[in-house]
Structure 1
């Protein structure tokens, strides 16, 4: 006969077990969505219109909207997109002698984490619009102007970084190269 301790039946233990079960179920749901990139992004594209409609209907929560835009700007442009930034290390050489091929464009923020951060931010901001404590009265045109200036400066820096190191932050599948004959305009028939 196994006799449990008094701590097994305490409210703290029950709450701890419940939190563990909820976090495990939540992680399971996230793991199931990982391979469905297109579906995740289609779902994420519905969040901004819902949030904008909510803010428009209640005519408030401009500081929450500003914080949300600032977070998105931070995710998009403030950190350099390269995991190993040549400006930081001083030279574009492999960080370790055993690595044969140096790949400078390795994203710091993987696609899944980017999607997750954006989705979570919109959900939290949407929930915040239901509590009047977060509706701080501000003059919204000043926040908008400040954000536009911040966005312009950040994107200018980011684009100049992209031009300097000759990279594009997107990839559209496997890159295909035309052969020598295709470049010369000859047909690939046998002579």
Structure 2
């Protein structure tokens, strides 16, 4: 006995739509995987998307609530990007040995692992700008509001949030950015000399 719908699944519109959706998802994931190592190119594309969105809002003279929501979302993503995966404050409470991040020069080196990795951070920002741009084509999202108040409120929120994050970084002595691979002087070999004969 065949399962219900097993004989008619090949030609039905729902199976072809499912197949098309799976192929589109696979192609999209393939392009995302290919873009992963090209950090500068990805961020250049995101800056282009942000510029297109800003021009759209500027010429439309509206959608300030959408922009405010986008700003709050971007601030939330930034905090996740700057925060360690394991909060040293909570880890210090859980373990009697102290915080997970090293606080002295003789402590064991533990690399900084972000709560939100760079690729996911980029992808979420790019997706947010695309969704916000799409929302600007619907007048229901163009709520009349006095935009300078929203801008001032967002700036105050940004300053207070970043102040708290920077104080957290100072307290637990971590820096979320690395400036490339650290180079060591090391000893020179017996045949290496700095003077030329």
TM-score interval w.r.t. the shorter chain? Answer: 0.7 to 0.9
Task: From the superposition, tell whether residues 53 and 80 of structure 1 become closer, same or farther in structure 2 (CA, over 3 Å).
Answer: closer
Task: Work out the CA distance in 2 between the residues paired with 1:135 and 1:28.
Answer: 36
Distance of 1:73 and 1:92 partners within structure 2: 26
Q: What's the counterpart of residue 28 of structure 1?
A: 30
User: What is residue 62 of structure 2 aligned with on the other side?
Assistant: 60
- Residue 159 (1) aligns with residue 166 (2): yes
Pair 1:144-2:146 in alignment: no
Unpaired stretches in structure 2, ≥5 consecutive residues: 1-5, 93-97, 102-107, 188-192
1:1-191 to 2 correspondences below 5 Å? 5-77=7-79, 81-90=83-92, 91-93=98-100, 103=110, 105-178=112-185
Is this contact kept in 2: 1:81–1:105, CA < 8 A? no
Match of 1:184? none
SS in 1 for 2:137: coil
Contact 2:35 2:42 in 1 (8 A): yes
**Paired positions, count:** 174
CA contact (8 A) 1:82 1:104 kept: no
Structure 1 portions without partners, runs of 5+ = 95-100, 181-186
Is the deviation greater in 9-18 or in 105-114? 9-18
Cα contact 2:81–2:116 (8 A) shared by 1? no
C-alpha distance in 1, partners of 2:178/2:109? 18
Tell me, yes or no, if the aligned pair for 1:81 and 1:108 is still in contact at 8 Å: yes
How does the TM-score come out when normalised to structure 2?
A: 0.79
Computed over aligned residues only, the root mean square deviation of the Cα atoms, in angstroms, reads 2.3
3-state SS of paired residue (1:60): coil
Indicate if the aligned counterparts of 1:85 and 1:104 stay in contact, CA closer than 8 A: no
Q: Distance in 2 between matches of 1:76 and 1:159?
A: 12
Instruction: Check 1:161–1:89 CA distance in 2 against 1; reply closer, same or farther (3 A cut).
Output: same
Residue 104 of structure 1 and its aligned partner are, at CA, apart by 5.6
- What whole-Å deviation, never above 9, does each CA across 1:72-111 have from its counterpart, x for those lacking one? 10011267611111101223249xxxxxx56262111111
